[in-house]
């Protein structure tokens, strides 16, 4: 059976409850989303752009949806393991799909910055939310339509014109529920002209024995000369499925540095759809996947150069061990109007076992003569000569392998825009390869402090 129909049925039976526990700007798009889903299906493995990932299968399990907003008590403090030491952040927590405002957050936010529940923002400022909600993510994409159909809450971030945040915003997504759960999350990030912000998002799963599915749609709108660092770290569980779609619109002179770090996952698909609308827009994408066991991670980038003199640079690296599978799809489109485009894309992958598999599909479509573009993809194994060299110096094979795998990720970490995060990432990656658990563990102290106050 088509996995979509169970959700359509759910919607038909719970229309009122969905609306009642959400807000008007979100409810307004539901009928259109429902219509858009008539007669379509979610992408299957083998569809173009989905060569190795079935979104159908991701949504197929019998997940519950917390339509009536039952408050699921999550031991929030226990899950707060992802704070980055030496990085003082303005912290918000999303448990499943509900934003939990920490008491002091509002007081600590600088003038001109909103960081709150999307539902609350839609009540407080419906015009602003309506103007941006659904403006970038198209309902013609069935997964976006499904998210729009079911989303009741999420996060709203707004930075007023010219406001430059000096402290990073941090969003911790925690999965916690007694039964298997689908959380349809919606995130809106709006930086007005000249605004700048840093955002760090961490995904955690509290219970490793329950199945979770995150359906996430993020819409990011960057005004003229706005600047955003947006880094995402996933440390979930083998039973967690993540389907994330990021839509970004960049105006002239804006800058985006986005990092996507998959340290532990079950099955993950991250879509990046980035439109460079204005001249001199700059976009850097850095992706890292470390997968082992039977984990699956698929990153898919569609980057459109729609204006002249824009610059984009993508670097995605995977280390796959065990039976892990990875996929990367990267399409750069340079339209006829986008003269003097600089666009680069690199995908490098390391297979650390004989049964790990990687599928990569770099694409470059250029409808313009005056451009500098390149793309390259390689998939290989650890350098046997380097490994032998290290072993002759007495370094045990397992340690030598870990050192080489860490070294492989060094340039992706160097690409990450937030300096204090880079140090933390080096540590996390080292721990991940050493098999000492991917959870941030020892850094819990500083964020626990935030909660207990």
Residues that bind another protein (CB under 8 A): 383-386, 388-397, 399-400, 403-404, 406-411
Closest to another protein by CB, 149 vs 350, is: 350
**Run of H or E residues at 128:** helix 126-132
Residue pair 178/147 in contact by the 8 Å Cβ criterion = no
Provide, rounded to whole angstroms, the least separation between the CB of residue 315 and another protein: 14
Closest to another protein by CB, 68 vs 378, is: 378
Provide, rounded to whole angstroms, the least separation between the CB of residue 317 and another protein: 11
Closest to another protein by CB, 269 vs 348, is: 348
Provide, rounded to whole angstroms, the least separation between the CB of residue 390 and another protein: 7
Closest to another protein by CB, 375 vs 391, is: 391
The candidate with the shortest Cα–Cα distance to 380, out of 404, 349, 411, is: 349
Closest to another protein by CB, 367 vs 389, is: 389
Provide, rounded to whole angstroms, the least separation between the CB of residue 411 and another protein: 8
Provide, rounded to whole angstroms, the least separation between the CB of residue 403 and another protein: 5
Provide, rounded to whole angstroms, the least separation between the CB of residue 377 and another protein: 18
Provide, rounded to whole angstroms, the least separation between the CB of residue 284 and another protein: 20
Closest to another protein by CB, 232 vs 348, is: 348
**Element counts in the chain: helices (H) and strands (E):** 13, 19
Residue pair 114/158 in contact by the 8 Å Cβ criterion = yes
Residue 102 burial by Cβ neighbours in a 10 Å radius (0-12, 13-18, 19+): middle
> What is the C-alpha separation between 218 and 272, in angstroms, rounded?
10
Work out whether strand 98-100 and strand 90-95 pair parallel, antiparallel, or are unpaired.
Answer: antiparallel
Report in angstroms the alpha-carbon separations of 73 from 8, 78, 175, 223.
28, 12, 11, 38
For 30, half-sphere exposure in the C-beta direction (CA atoms, 13 angstrom radius) is 23
SS3 451: helix
Closest to another protein by CB, 320 vs 404, is: 404
The candidate with the shortest Cα–Cα distance to 288, out of 240, 248, 235, 247, is: 235
């Amino acid at each position: 059976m088509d996995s979509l129909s169970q959700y359509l049925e759910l919607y038909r039976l719970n229309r009122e409850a969905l609306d009642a526990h959400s807000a008007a700007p979100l409810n307004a798009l539901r009928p259109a989303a429902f219509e858009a889903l008539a007669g379509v299906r979610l992408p299957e493995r083998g569809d173009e752009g989905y060569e190795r990932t079935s979104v159908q299968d991701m949504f197929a399990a019998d997940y519950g949806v917390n339509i009536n907003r039952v408050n699921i008590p999550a031991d929030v403090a226990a899950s707060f393991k992802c704070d980055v030491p030496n990085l003082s952040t303005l912290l918000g927590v999303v448990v499943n799909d509900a934003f939990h405002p920490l008491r002091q957050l509002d007081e600590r936010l600088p003038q001109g910055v909103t960081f709150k529940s999307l539902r609350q923002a839609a009540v407080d400022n419906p015009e602003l939310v309506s103007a941006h909600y659904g403006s970038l993510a198209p309902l013609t994409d069935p997964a976006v339509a499904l998210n729009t159909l079911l989303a009741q809450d999420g996060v709203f971030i707004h930075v007023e014109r010219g406001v430059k945040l000096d402290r990073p915003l941090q969003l911790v997504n925690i999965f916690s529920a007694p039964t298997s759960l689908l959380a349809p999350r919606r995130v809106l990030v709006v930086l007005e002209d000249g605004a700048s912000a840093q955002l760090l998002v961490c995904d955690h799963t509290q219970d490793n024995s329950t199945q979770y599915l995150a359906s996430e749609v993020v819409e990011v709108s960057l005004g003229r000369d706005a600047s955003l660092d947006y880094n995402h770290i996933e440390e979930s569980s083998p039973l967690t499925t993540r389907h994330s779609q990021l839509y970004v619109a960049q105006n002239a002179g804006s800058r985006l540095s986005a990092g996507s770090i998959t340290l532990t996952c079950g099955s993950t698909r991250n879509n990046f759809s980035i439109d460079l609308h204005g001249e001199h827009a700059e976009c850097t994408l850095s992706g890292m996947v470390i997968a082992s066991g039977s984990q699956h991670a698929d990153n898919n980038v569609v980057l459109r150069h729609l204006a002249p003199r824009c610059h984009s640079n993508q670097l995605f690296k995977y280390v796959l061990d065990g039976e892990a599978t990875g996929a990367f799809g990267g399409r750069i489109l340079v339209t006829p109007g986008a003269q003097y485009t600089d666009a680069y894309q690199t995908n490098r992958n390391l297979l650390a076992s004989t049964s790990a598999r990687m599928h990569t599909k770099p694409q470059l479509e250029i409808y313009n003569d005056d451009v500098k573009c390149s793309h390259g993809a390689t998939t290989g194994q650890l350098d046997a000569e380097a490994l032998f060299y290290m072993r002759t110096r007495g370094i045990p094979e397992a340690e030598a392998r870990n050192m080489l795998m860490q070294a492989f990720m060094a340039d992706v970490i160097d690409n990450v825009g937030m300096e204090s995060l880079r140090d933390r990432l080096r540590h996390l990656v080292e721990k991940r390869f050493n098999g000492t658990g991917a959870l941030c563990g020892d850094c819990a102290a500083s964020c626990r402090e935030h909660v207990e106050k």
